[in-house]
Structures are given as structure tokens and as C-alpha cells.
Amino acid sequence: MSIRITTTAAFVAIAMTTAACWEEDKPEAEETTTTGTVVQPEALSDAGAADEGKSAEAAKIEAEVAEKARLADAEKARSDAEAAEKARLADEEAEKMKAQVAAEARQAEEATAKLEAAAAEKARLANEEAAEREAAMAEKARLAEERMKAASAEAARLAEEAGDKANAEIKRLSQAAAAATDKAADKAQSVIADMVEAGETATETDAATGAETAKTFSETPTLTDDATGPAEDPAALAELLTVDGFDYDKVKDAIADSEIGAMQKTTLAAALDVARDNPDALKPLLARIRDAMGLE
């Protein structure tokens, strides 16, 4: 556009220069005329024609210059219009780009806000779920503790009841056992007494013989001495025939090896089998055996 403006200015300068030259030539002709020099009509005609030619040429030049100036102005106006249109289009494009950037920025902000909201919602739900799980676990622990306490209390109650029942049952059984023991002891003593009495009755005719046998036994022991046999002397035998020194096998062997009557041996041996595990019945029986053997 600056080149076109320069060209127009050049045309205008040329036109002004041509007009100035024409003006300078015209006064000189007039001066020549005013000097008193006689000018012929032909010369005047030729001069007028020349002037007219110069004027026409100048007018033509001016017209050309004006046309060029007009064309230059038109070109300038067109260029200015094109530039203005381009500037308008550039402004519109810039506005569009600005609007697009703003829209994209707004969309990005909205997307970011949505993501942040979704993340916050997930975090909230996760916290709620964690809180619910923690509350559920605490409730389970509480219930388990309560059940444990209740079970412990119930176990203690049942144990106490069982202990009371067991104590009562033990007491009852102890009383029953004591009663049964007393009854068995009484029965054993009665049986033993009957058996001994029967044995004594059967051997009343042999009393002298028994006394002699006891004397002989006390003077000359006839018991054998082995690992399981009775003692050799009467003192040892008397010790066996006590509750503290009682030995069932040795006492039974001593009865079998004694010189007392066969019927009395059988009676005493049978009574010993009954009373061997009952100290209350054993004590009077051992006394009878000592009597029968003459060890009192």
C-alpha cells in the first residue's frame, strides 16, 4: 500500500511541475508583446495555437494525473477495505479462538469439578463404609464380650450348682457307705461270731487236746520259715495277729499249720476271708485266733 501512495504522489508532482513550466512560458510571450515589438498576426496565431496545444497537453497530463490519482485512491480504498476486511476477519477469528479457548477452559474446569466431586463422593462413601464396618465390628465385639461374660457367669453358676450337688451326693454316698460299712461290719462280726461259736462248740470235746496243742505250739513251734510263711517265734506270730501287723497270707498259713482242731481251722479261715478287709470285724477275730492258739 505504501508503494501505491508513493506513485500517486509522484504523478501529482509531475503535474504540478508541468503546469509551472507552462505558466513561466506565458509571461515571456506577453513581455515580448509589451516591449513594443510588432507581432505579426500569423505569429500571434501560431503562438495561440502553441498555447492551446500546451494547455491541451497540460490538461491531458492533469487528466491523466487525476485519473491515476483516482485509480490510486480507488486502489488505496480497495486495499484499505481489504485490509479492514482482513483485520475484521482476523478479529473475528481471534474472538472465535478466544471464545473456543474460554469454552475449552470452562469445559476443563467443569470436568475438573466433576472429577473432584466424584472423588469427594467416593471418599465420603468409603469413609461411611469404613465407619459402618468399624461400628459393626465394635458391635460384634460387644456382643461377643457380653456372651462370654454370660457364658462365664452361667459356667460359674453351673459349676457352683454341680459342686453343691456333688458335695451333697458325696455326703449322701459317704453316709450310705458308712451305714453300709457299719451294717457289713455288724453282719461280719455276727457271722464271725456265729462261725467261731460253731467252731468252738464243735471242738468242746477236744478242749484238753487243744490246750495241750497250744502248750506244745508255744514250746516247740512247728511253723515253717520261708519267704512267705509266718514268723518263727510266738512273739512274731502274736504281732501278725494284730490289726497293725496283720498279714492275711501269713495268718492263714499259721492257722493251717497250727495244732488246733480241723473244724476250728476251717471256721477261723472262713471268718478270716470275710473280715480281712474290715478292720472293725478283723480285730475281734484276730483276738479269737490268738485265744485258739494260746497266745494270750
In the structure grid, which three cell numbers stand for residue 69, read together? Answer: 490519482
Task: Read off the pLDDT band of 284 (50, 70, 90).
Answer: very high
Report the 10 Å Cβ neighbour count for 221: 18
Domain boundaries, the chain: 2-104, 203-293
Nearest CA-CA partner of 238 in 218, 256, 257: 218
pLDDT tens for each residue of 14-72? 666 665 555 555 544 444 444 444 445 555 566 666 677 778 888 889 899 999 999 99
pLDDT of residue 194: 60
Instruction: Find cell 509266718 and name the residue.
Output: 230
Q: What is the share, in percent, of the chain residues with pLDDT greater than 90?
A: 33
> Model-level pTM?
0.30
Q: Would the pLDDT of 12 be above 70?
A: no
121 contact partners, CB below 8 Å, separation of at least 6: none
pLDDT of residue 88: 93
Q: Which residue has the higher pLDDT, 290 or 36?
A: 290
pLDDT tens for each residue of 242-257? 988 999 999 999 999 9
